[in-house]
Amino acid sequence: MGKTRKMVLILLTLVMISSFAGCAGGSGGKGSRKSITVYNWGDYIDESVTKDFEKKYGIHVTYETFATNEDMYVKLKAGGIHYDVIFPSDYMVARLIREGMLQKIDLKKIPNYKYIGEEYKDLAYDPDNEYSVPYMWGTVGILYNTTMVKEPVDSWDILWDRKYKKNIFMLDSQRDSIAVALKKLGYSLNTRDKMELKAARKELIRQKPLVLSYLGDEVKDKMISGEAAMAVVWSGDAVYTMKENPHLAYAVPKEGTNLWYDAMCIPKSSKNRKEAEAFINYMNDPDIALRNTEYIGYSTPNTGAFEKLDEETKSDATAYPDNQSLKDSEVFEDLSDIISTYNRIWDEIKAAQ
Amino acid sequence: MKQRWMAYPYIVWMILFIVVPLALVVFYSVTVQSGAGIRFTMENFRRCLDPIYIKVLIRSVVLALISTGVCLLLGYPVAWILSGKEYSKKKILYLLIVLPMWMNFLLRTYSWMTLLERNGVINFLLTRLHLPPLHILYTDGAVVLGMVYNFLPFMILPIYSVLSKLDGSMIEAAQDLGGDAFTVFRRIILPLSLPGVVSGITMVFMPAVTTFVISRLLGGGQFMLIGNLIEQQFLSSGDWGFGSALSVIMMLLILLSMGIMQRHEQESEGGVLW
């Protein structure tokens, strides 16, 4: 009796330990079936596309999402899960390249790369197009409700107007919010100047009593239901919300803004490069890219998909602004060497009362 | 001998999920990773003493204390009603208190957002009744409301379990000796129920002081509590050292408050509930 119980308990202990060990190793393919893990922004794809990809190629897709570039970076760096395709933005692509965390992509394996427009190639974050394939692009601007904002919106200054106290949503993303203040003050959003950053911090703390909330993806629902007069949003979200609520309008301030590109990359830790390249290629098929851009509202760099868009969308200045309105806009550069200054500023803004 | 064998799976469990993680947190808090390797330092703790972080800490404690106080004021009478013999719908009331806890915590907190919104359900009803609308979402008030709503059962249940075991003859004796209702409550019932009150306070204060979900959702990301600060260090900033140092301070704070509570419990010589 005593012996049996002993055995049972030892067994139980072993089972416990081995099951934990099992958790650690289980992210790869099960059996012979190929599988990839895709790590994308939340709400940033027509999810039926991944289902169709699975059907067509027989590759299982595990789909995970993140809310900001920084969240994605920390999780990738921690290395618990081997992601095969990730969707970082410009400055994060540059940082990942610099830190040796990306594999080179063989463009010969991505025949649909030919559809990428010339203006989206050879960009500063990946000058030789070795590591990334553009997915979407856009701007940051002010989404406003025309029933609550009667004056023209053309400057970041309006976000500091006392009239709109507790009627403003800001982005809960440190680089984007600090960039708004830098641009308002007429500085570059890639500044390394301590005094300029300090001034931006002061502006944002001064603005805080006017801000109703710092939001992520929820901002779309809140603006559609008319919770606030204005919100700082990414252009694609503006396209989506304006479709849902006709009183909403979008403006890119005259001081210039952040022009951004999100790209698809393959992390170094990926063991399924062939499948990852197949996925990236599939995403650049004009019909698939069209489905994605129509579903999420963001602007596609895929000329094949662009041609298939209806005329109204093609001429929509929110999604496809002309060069004139973007002349003072900048693309984020990698500032990870002074990231602790940024973290510190953001902490102070969030903690301020 | 037999009993010791029984404990082995539990010891493995403890080592894996309590001792190892704790050791890791302490290790991260006293080290800095640089290009050259790992270096021991007190830098992370020194940074915690910065006024802006102290302010965050104080704010968390104050909000948690307010919610604990409100929970106590609301919870004690409810527990009293529950334990009373005269109330016939006791079972239903008990179920109503426990039932919401079967639903997901995040979901319940999220639904408060919809209720409290400017154009939300509550304001819709208020304006229909020609009352002024409430602007409470994304304020301290909403965070306290969320805490009280989520943690109230943890106050009611321990007090209820102590009150329902009260020796009725003591109360009768006090009444026989001429004590009026208030005296009986003050001299007999309250002292005897103190262990439940103390458990309740600990069980509400601890989750309240560490929460980050409630303050994130209902506070709108602008009222940073210590939980949010720790979360940000781990998930966004990637500064595990500083995050761990904050966690260690947090744990010390909780240990301290538990110590004070424990002492109280011994003084009032009541049974410990958990």
**B12, B138, B236 ranked by CB distance to A16: nearest:** B12
CA–CA min distance B173, chain A (Å): 52
Share of chain B above pLDDT 70, in %: 93
Average pLDDT over chain B, rounded to an integer: 87
CA dist list (Å): A259 to A89, A117, A141, B175: 11, 16, 10, 78
| Domain covering A138-259+321-351: architecture | 3-Layer(aba) Sandwich (3.40)
**Which tokens hold the place of A273?**
């490069």
pLDDT for residue B170: 86
CA–CA min distance A202, chain B (Å): 15
Q: Best mutation site among B8, B121, B136, B138 for testing chain A: the one with the most A CBs within 10 Å?
A: B138
pLDDT for residue A21: 59
Give the position of tokens 């334990």. Answer: B83
Decide if B9 and A343 are in contact by the 8 Å CB cutoff: no
Decide if A347 and B228 are in contact by the 8 Å CB cutoff: no
pLDDT for residue A26: 44
For chain A, what are the domain ranges? 35-135+261-314, 138-259+321-351
pLDDT for residue B87: 63
Chain A residue with CA closest to B116: the answer is A227
CA–CA min distance B255, chain A (Å): 25
CA–CA min distance A71, chain B (Å): 5
Q: Best mutation site among B8, B57, B138, B222 for testing chain A: the one with the most A CBs within 10 Å?
A: B222
Q: With 90 as the cut, is the pLDDT of residue B155 above it?
A: yes
pLDDT for residue A1: 47
From first to last of the 353 residues of chain A, give the pLDDT tens digit: 466 667 766 777 777 666 665 554 444 444 557 899 999 999 899 999 999 999 999 999 999 999 889 989 999 988 888 999 999 999 999 999 999 999 999 999 999 999 999 999 999 999 999 999 999 999 999 999 999 999 999 999 999 999 999 999 999 988 999 999 999 999 999 999 999 999 999 999 999 999 999 998 889 999 999 999 999 999 999 999 999 999 999 999 999 999 999 999 999 999 999 999 999 999 999 999 999 999 999 999 999 999 999 998 998 889 999 888 888 899 999 998 898 899 889 988 988 87
Which positions ≥6 away from A238 have C-beta within 8 Å? A141, A143, A248, A250, A297, A318
- The span from the CA of B107 to the CA of A118, in Å, is 46
**A12, A17, A350 ranked by CB distance to B224: nearest:** A350
Give tens-digit pLDDT for A217-242: 889 999 999 999 999 999 999 999 99
pLDDT for residue A28: 44
CA–CA min distance A212, chain B (Å): 7
What pairing do the DSSP bridges indicate for beta strands B31-34 and B37-40? antiparallel
Chain B residues with CB-CB distance to A213 below 8 A = 138, 220-222
Our CA angle for A209, A214, A216, nearest 5°, is 170
Give tens-digit pLDDT for B199-218: 999 899 999 999 999 998 99
**Distance from the Cα of residue B174 to its chain's centroid:** 35
Decide if A74 and B236 are in contact by the 8 Å CB cutoff: yes
The 3-state DSSP class for residue B131 equals coil
Chain A residues with CB-CB distance to B135 below 8 A = 166
What pairing do the DSSP bridges indicate for beta strands A35-41 and A60-66? parallel
Q: Which amino acid is at A23?
A: C
CA dist list (Å): B262 to A142, A270, A315, B210, B268: 54, 52, 70, 20, 10
CA–CA min distance A48, chain B (Å): 26
- The span from the CA of A180 to the CA of A172, in Å, is 12
pLDDT for residue B273: 43
Burial status of residue A53 (CB atoms within 10 A of its CB: 0-12, 13-18, 19 or more): buried
What ipTM is given for this predicted complex?
0.81
Q: Which residues of B touch A (CB under 8 A)?
A: 2, 5-6, 8-9, 12-13, 16, 52-53, 55-56, 59, 117-119, 135, 138, 220-222, 224, 228-229, 232, 234-239
Residue A71: CB atoms within 10 Å: 18
Burial status of residue B251 (CB atoms within 10 A of its CB: 0-12, 13-18, 19 or more): middle
CA–CA min distance B222, chain A (Å): 5
Residue A73: CB atoms within 10 Å: 22
Q: Minimal CA–CA distance to A330: which of A151, A90, A163?
A: A90
pLDDT for residue B39: 83
Establish, for the pair of chains A and B, how many residue pairs have beta carbons separated by less than 8 Å: 81
Chain B residues with CB-CB distance to A75 below 8 A = 235
- The span from the CA of B6 to the CA of A272, in Å, is 45
Q: Which residue has the higher pLDDT, B181 or A208?
A: A208
Q: Looking at domain A35-135+261-314, what is its CATH homologous superfamily?
A: Periplasmic binding protein-like II (3.40.190.10)
Decide if B236 and A225 are in contact by the 8 Å CB cutoff: no
Question: Where are any strands of DSSP class E within A196-308?
Answer: 211-215, 230-234, 248-251, 259-264
Chain B residues with CB-CB distance to A211 below 8 A = 222
Q: Which residues of A touch B (CB under 8 A)?
A: 2, 5-6, 9-10, 12-13, 16-17, 20, 68, 70-71, 73-75, 77, 166, 172, 174, 208, 211-215, 222, 225-228, 339-340, 343, 347-348, 350-353
Burial status of residue A229 (CB atoms within 10 A of its CB: 0-12, 13-18, 19 or more): buried
Decide if B229 and A351 are in contact by the 8 Å CB cutoff: yes
pLDDT for residue B152: 95
pLDDT for residue A32: 58
CA dist list (Å): A74 to A69, A286, B225: 9, 32, 21
Decide if A16 and B6 are in contact by the 8 Å CB cutoff: no
Which positions ≥6 away from B194 have C-beta within 8 Å? B264, B265, B268, B270
Decide if B222 and A73 are in contact by the 8 Å CB cutoff: no
Residues linked to residue A251 through DSSP beta bridges, in sequence order: A142
Decide if B232 and A347 are in contact by the 8 Å CB cutoff: yes
**B6, B56, B117 ranked by CB distance to A9: nearest:** B6
Chain B residues with CB-CB distance to A70 below 8 A = 236-238
**B117, B224, B238 ranked by CB distance to A74: nearest:** B238
Give tens-digit pLDDT for B227-272: 999 998 888 888 889 999 999 999 998 888 888 877 766 655 444 4
Chain A residue with CA closest to B135: the answer is A166
**A13, A227, A351 ranked by CB distance to B56: nearest:** A351
pLDDT for residue B274: 40
**Distance from the Cα of residue A282 to its chain's centroid:** 20
Chain B residues with CB-CB distance to A177 below 8 A = none
Give tens-digit pLDDT for B40-73: 888 899 989 988 899 999 999 999 999 999 999 9
